[in-house]
Amino acid sequence: MSISYEGKGKRALITGASAGIGAELARVFAEHGFDLILVARRREKLEALAEELARDMKTDCHIIVADLGDPAAPRAIFDEVTSRGLRVDALVNNAGYGIPGFFRDTKWEDQAALIQVMVTAVAELCHLFGPCMKARGYGRILNIASVAGHLPASAGGTLYSASKAFVIKLSEALHFEYLGTGVHVTALCPGFTWSEFHDVMGNREEMNRLPKFLWLDTNRVAREGFRAVMENDPVYINGFVYRLITWFVDITPDHLLYWLIGRQSGQKPTA
Ligand SMILES: NC(=O)c1ccc[n+]([C@@H]2O[C@H](COP(=O)([O-])OP(=O)(O)OC[C@H]3O[C@@H](n4cnc5c(N)ncnc54)[C@H](OP(=O)(O)O)[C@@H]3O)[C@@H](O)[C@H]2O)c1
């Protein structure tokens, strides 16, 4: 049986829609007929994207400017959506970033904000919007994790890898909780992807030295992510190379992996 990707009359809320993978996901959802609610901190970027999509695809776009590092943000977003009389049929938890350097050398406030954005806000938005989707018998929840969530963590990866492993486990559990209800839940796991991510991390120069075959583009990541959630895959890893790496990790004994990671720890960039 073929599954309809049709989004006409439906609306997707996308966090981190001002750049990179989130902006591209907005374009892909719009192409399939979804109207949108775009969420991020940079209003001008959201406005430019909303203008582009309204002009090119006749998409009805709402903007909510929010800092997901603020513990009040998920509830405020939900209340704002409700007060505007909007319905969220698809939720994309995409906003994210990494913190450079070793855990021990960073400020706790920065680490706590990362947990808020990439763990707590993701779980809370699923908790707020999921039940409404179930009540209507249709929902799509796409949580952007990372291949880093599948690999053993290395020094400096710290809460980034841990948060992505959390997103994978949360998504798997919700996937099974919502089976048969019309609500699909998927964790998307890209590898290194060209976006603003590594500029924000401040390691662009180092990253540019990585071989080309390791890089994905945002369009491919977004298209595969959209298809994965429409087809209700619990977890989708972008790219053959990353599926191969994950498979290798799965079949390699832990002591060998730890030895390998110990040798290069601290040098492995975050994805
Ligand atoms: N690029 C990669 O190599 C890669 C690989 C695997 C997974 N990922 C994951 O993919 C997702 C998207 O990353 P990307 O590569 O597209 O990075 P990006 O180009 O830097 O985009 C990140 C987005 O997150 C938003 N954001 C960051 N902090 C926020 C906050 N406190 N509140 C609200 N929005 C916030 C940013 O918007 P504002 O700055 O306007 O708020 C921006 O729209 C992330 O979850 C990332 O971990 C990326």
Q: Tens digits of per-residue pLDDT, 90-115?
A: 999 999 999 999 999 999 999 999 99
Which of the listed CATH numbers 3.40.50.720, 3.40.50.970, 3.40.50.620, 3.20.190.10 matches domain 11-264? 3.40.50.720
Question: Are the C-beta atoms of residues 92 and 7 closer than 8 Å to each other?
Answer: no
pLDDT at 217 over 90: yes
Does the CB atom of residue 96 touch ligand 1 within 6 A? Answer: yes
Q: How far is CA 13 from CA 32, 107, 109, 149, in A?
A: 14, 31, 28, 24
- The vertex-172 CA angle with 95 and 139, nearest 5°, equals 70
Residue type, 118: M
Mean pLDDT confidence for 185-214: 93
Domain residue spans in the chain?
11-264
Quote the longest CA-to-CA distance of the chain: 55
Nearest one of 3, 25, 2 to 93, comparing CA atoms: 25
pLDDT at 3 over 80: no
The more confident residue out of 243 and 266 is: 243
pTM, rounded to two decimals: 0.96
pLDDT at 162 over 60: yes
Mean pLDDT confidence for 39-56: 98
**Residue in 28, 37, 41 to alter for ligand 1 test, most ligand atoms within 8 A of Cβ:** 41
Q: How many percent of the chain have pLDDT more than 90?
A: 87
Nearest CA to ligand 1 atom 17: 197
pLDDT at 232 over 90: yes
Within 13 Å, how many C-alpha atoms sit on residue 201's CB side? 24
Nearest one of 102, 151, 103 to 257, comparing CA atoms: 151
Mean pLDDT confidence for 126-143: 98
Mean pLDDT confidence for 6-31: 97
pLDDT band at 156 (very low <50, low <70, confident <90, very high): confident
Residues identified as active-site: 160
pLDDT at residue 1 in the model: 47
Does the CB atom of residue 59 touch ligand 1 within 6 A? Answer: no
Query: Rounded to 5 degrees, what are φ and ψ at 54?
Result: -65, -40
Looking at every residue in the chain, the average pLDDT score rounds to 94
Does the CB atom of residue 133 touch ligand 1 within 6 A? Answer: no
pLDDT at residue 270 in the model: 57
Residue type, 25: L
Q: How far is CA 237 from CA 118, 138, 222, 225, 234, in A?
A: 18, 24, 12, 9, 10
pLDDT at 266 over 60: no
Mean pLDDT confidence for 210-239: 96
CA-to-CA distance for 230 and 186, rounded, in angstroms? Answer: 9
pLDDT at 184 over 50: yes
Nearest one of 140, 182, 156 to 98, comparing CA atoms: 156
Handedness of CA 259, 262, 245, 103 (dihedral sign): positive
pLDDT at 2 over 60: no
